[in-house]
Structure 1
Amino acid sequence: MKKFLRFLFLFNISVTQFLTVSSSASNPSIAPVSTSMATFSPGIKMGSGEEHRLEHKKLLIGLIISSSSLGVIILFCLGFWVCYRRKKSPNSIKNSDAESGNSSFTMFMRRLSSIQTQRRPSFNKAYVQCFDFKTLEKATGGFKESNVIGQGGFGCVYKACFDNNTKAAVKKIENVSQEAKREFQNEVELLSKIEHSNIISLLGSASEINSSFIVYELMEKGSLDDQLHGPSCGSALTWHMRMKIALDTARGLEYLHEHCDPPIIHRDLKSSNILLGSSFCAKISDFGLAVSVGVHGKNNLKLSGTLGYVAPEYLLDGKLTDKSDVYAFGVVLLELLLGRRPVEKLTPSQCQSLVTWAMPQLTDRSKLPNIVDPVIKDTMDLKHLYQVAAMAVLCVQPEPSYRPLITDVLHSLVPLVPAELGGTLRLTR
């Protein structure tokens, strides 16, 4: 650019010199040149007026030519410079525009677009605390076995109590493989960005050489798997409470699918990953395998999940969509309805799928009441029972396109849950 300005400066000087010479030729005060020429050419006689007009014409032509040439050169060089800068560094042009005083409109449009894209403000969460190992060790009593409240794929979950009497759950992940480290980073990253009443809250994290730790809010009633298939065998879960758990889970999934940007597929929804609070409020947990739609690819996404909950198209072809979560939700709905595990062992070498076993009976109204969990048998309106069974059948359809969206499932569940539990059902007393 400096060379270009220098060129224009020299060109301007040249044009000025040319105009000075031309104007000196037409000035009467420098007439000796014309006089001497007349002296040496006695045969040519020119009047002073005609001579001046001729010199003025020459001067005008010179001015027009020099001005046109200068304008063409300036435009050419300016266009060349703009193209060169755009090709070289688009970002530097944007930065220079932002620094200039003429970029106020550009900055306004950028801010406006950023406001429009933030259509899901709850997706951005506040700062997540980083714990040190000694604090977690003290809160869990040195990670005592008596404080274990759950078991994960790469370690245990411990009950913790901090100095301010805050209770929490601490998941200890043994960094035995790169896969364990990836799941830890993935879960912390996702949970630090999302916040919903039916998604487990992340309180903080910690990382050591051999272990990583994730600190969650403590859910007093444990997991849905513990309540249904543990020692109590679901005795604490009434029909309406089960529908509330299903509704809460659907709300959490709908938030992931419809209100996160980009949408999130949980990929490992199951009864052991649905945690229950003191009032049986359900929250989805364990986001180690969760993926954002559009970010994952088929080639770099390892097949993961839990047998009995994995959708057929994902298990056979690796096709993962939000309908994969809907299938898993349908299996959870069957667990709530029938009180059975998703996969049961008939013999040491033979297993039976809950979906395969239940499908023929779910659509038969005469058989359906007989396979319902004995704890809730004859405690519900049969019309509601049929509706839930039909919903479960749709969710576990082998063809993904036949399954409903989780939003449709949510809207179907709301009228089945009492108003005091978060639904719209009005109980008659």
Structure 2
Amino acid sequence: MAELSAPRGTWDALRRGWAALPVSVRVLIVYVLARVVTTLFFVTADAASGPSSRFGVNPGLAGLATGWDGQWYWYTAVNGYPAELPLTDDGLVAENQWAFMPVYPYLSSAVGLAFGSWPAGAVAVSLAAGYLACLVLYRMLRLRGDDAMAMWAVVFFAAGPLAALFQVAYAESLFLLFLFLALWLVMRRRFGWLYLLVPAMGFTRPGVLAFSLFLALYGIARWFARRRDPLPIREVVHIVALGLIAAFVGFSWQVIAGIVTGDPTAYLATELAWRRNWLPGWSGAFVPFDGFVLGADFWFSTWGLPGWLGIVALVILVAAIAALLLFEPHVKRLGVELRLWAASYVVYLLAVFFPQSSIFRLLVPLSPLWGAVAMPRSPWWRFGVLAVGLLGQWWWIFNMYGLGNTFWQIP
């Protein structure tokens, strides 16, 4: 009997020891272990990279970490933003730095001074911001569930399919940190720090307009619930003011680009330069919600299916997402704030994005929904989700960084 009970006793002791650790330490352990796994995946991608890859033969971890948009952030940090927009041979605006917000590249430059290089500073910013984002995610979800749910959500987030973003020169980690802090503060109804977080978010990467929509919907929801959940005047003022500030910040980069270049369409024309890579010969202007319609037709035609079928699939997808946010029990338990954020961000993506391989990366701001995935207590479910997440992460890194040689292998 003693032999049979010893392993269980050891396991119980380990669980008690784990629970006794400060949350910051437990999250750090999870995060470091996840980063070790991600690094191993990058090592395999480095070995797989060959002459046909964008990165060439054995580019090394540093080469992979600064690939793709990382090159643009680096170029922006060194050269700033052009006063004269570059043009293609057809006279259209070419890809340029105005598509990339300034906070991440310049912060990485400042941090990089301590390391002697911009890439080291950029990866350090991503790593640190990723850990802090995990910590805030735990605190946020702890308001809606128990310790196990919140910690498993952190595990899924830190080791999920897009976890490579925590250790490459992309602005996502920093944006997620600002976003999670902002959502956590709204959930706690502490609005003061949002006056700093909203501009920081808005000048880190696109997406703050979704936060403006979120605040508008949140204010409406609070108004209709005011009889059972009092809505003080001071909170009304904060919600309205912050929503307007978020909208102002969201449009201000377009204004700044227009003033510097003398072209009021500079920012949108720059963003559309990337869309033309997918639609050769297309020279249309930006129209809200047009990107997903074009994308549905493009992808279904590429797959040899009727374009109209893509529109039908898009409508079904939107209806399914709406049903998930409205009726799925685990999602409902996350609370009105996180559900409204998810809805707002999905609407934002539908309005501005052309769906292509980067869609996986652009879905990362929906990561608070990991809380709903982590709610079922079955260990089979939780370890199964973790396994699928790690498999997805390997697939993403291997294709986007190890191969990276065709149109759908762009992170």
TM class by smaller structure: under 0.3
Q: Which has the higher contact order (CA 8 A, sep 6+)?
A: 2
Task: Answer 1 or 2: which has greater helix percent.
Answer: 2
Task: Answer 1 or 2: which has greater strand percent.
Answer: 1
Between structure 1 and structure 2, the one with the greater Rg is 1
Instruction: Normalising by structure 2, report the TM-score.
Output: 0.26
